[in-house]
Amino acid sequence: MSRYMKIAGEANEVATDLFELVTTDDLDTVTDYEQQVAVHIAKLVNYGLRCAPRAVQHTVRLNAVREAVKGLPVKVTQMPVTDPVTGRMFHPLRCEGVQL
């Protein structure tokens, strides 16, 4: 296992602990609020990677964020987008809440 995935796995422990602070006792359903919290956790992990002094490849970022929020009610995807001004392609992460 690569080092970044190992660290992302450690981040999953923190993300899970944070998510458990806001979850209800009903494990069968996930509320909209819980989904929103999971989405924000995924976005925070993504921002942390984007703020790093050395850039990472988009697939590394996607895999790390997915690993960090594994088990939470959030779906993390990526789609290439072309900037209309510069013509450069970039790969923003899209995070949406889902039922488990």
pLDDT in tens, 49-73: 888 878 788 999 999 999 999 999 9
Residues in Cβ contact with 99 at an 8 Å cutoff, skipping those fewer than 6 apart: 29, 30, 73
User: SS3 of 60, please?
Assistant: helix
- Angle, helices 3-20/58-68, rounded to nearest 10 degrees: 40
Query: pLDDT tens digits, residue range 21-51?
Result: 998 777 678 889 999 999 999 999 999 988 8
CA distance 43 to 49: 10
